[in-house]
Amino acid sequence: MLIKLRIGSRPSKLALVQASIVAQKLTEAIGGIEIEIVEIRTSGDKLTTGSLAQVGGKGLFIKELEQALADRSVDIAVHSMKDLPAVLPEQFKIVSVPQRENTADVLVTRDGVALTALKAGTRLGTSSPRRRFQALRINRSLEIVALRGNVDTRLKRVAEGELDAIIIAMAGLKRLGRTGEVKFVELPGSDFIPAGGQGALAIETLAERRVGGSSELDRALNAINDSRAFYEAASERAFLAGIGASCVTPVGVRAIIAGGNLSVSAMLFSADGSRELSESIEEPVDADLAPSAAARAGERLAEKILARGGAELLGDE
């Protein structure tokens, strides 16, 4: 029996590539499937200026996709995990997280220099408070310039000399096949703890619905799920929920499962970047680690950073 599946995606080049990655994985996991990628322009796609904080936050990139799920005009939605709020409405759930891409941030310049080598007054583009403060920790002489737009637009601003440098996610560069075309330096994870969920894709569905009415398709979604990526994302999202992070909170968090351990590290700044806190935990994990156990690790890290004064930093927002 032919199974039909509609995947909701933002219309940007990167979003469509990500939806196609999921479509290909599902095609390989299940026979007799017909997939349609439905392009849905979100509120975030319509706004090309101003910060996310000014125009409504991360939810702007998923609102219309979730409405399409609720209307049953699509069966699943594919998101960049970092675009999702830390807590989803009860009617939706993340059912699958494919293998995660490189989580690092990268510095893109015209000549491939390091962040520490950038001269005073260098115009560095980013609209992420986290990236702004992390960059200024390393090089206080930078001029930070607000930056919106898709990856191609951002790279073009460097190539044409409008900006001297930008910071973007390695995952986007790799998925778009642009790593061989631009000069970049991967930024160290110790100084640039990424946004929660960076490098991961989230497959979202209605919480109480068999996808496409097919148990076989549900099994396929489970088959393309990478348990390590799923648990790492669960831990990072639980940390963000635990501290009450919003789209404007200057915070990075990274969970890593390796060698039988789960380590979670976070870096939190005050709203003006003048104060910061870094904290981490490491715990052994069982072979049958459950998402709830990974989430509890993130919650414990949230409690730890709040106890050290994180609440005060968050109060500055």
Rounded distance between C-alpha atoms, residue 112 and residue 110, angstroms: 6
Of 45, 75, 83, 272, which is the active-site residue? Answer: 83
**Which residues fall within 8 angstroms of residue 106, CB to CB, at 6 or more apart?**
167, 168, 169, 170, 173, 184, 185, 186, 187
Token readout for 118 is 């950038």
Catalytic (active site) residue 226: no
Integer angstrom CA distances of residue 72 from 19, 87, 238: 18, 22, 28
- Burial readout 104-142 (b: 16 or more C-beta within 10 A, e: otherwise): bbbbbbeeebebeebeeebbbbbbbbbbbbbbeebbeeb
Which SS3 state, helix, strand or coil, does residue 265 take? strand
Rounded distance between C-alpha atoms, residue 96 and residue 75, angstroms: 13
Running DSSP on this structure, what letter comes out for residue 98?
A: P
Other Cβ atoms less than 10 A from the Cβ of 316: the count is 13
Q: Bridge partners of 34? A: 4
CA angle 101, 190, 258 (to 5 degrees): 55
Catalytic sites, residue numbers? 83
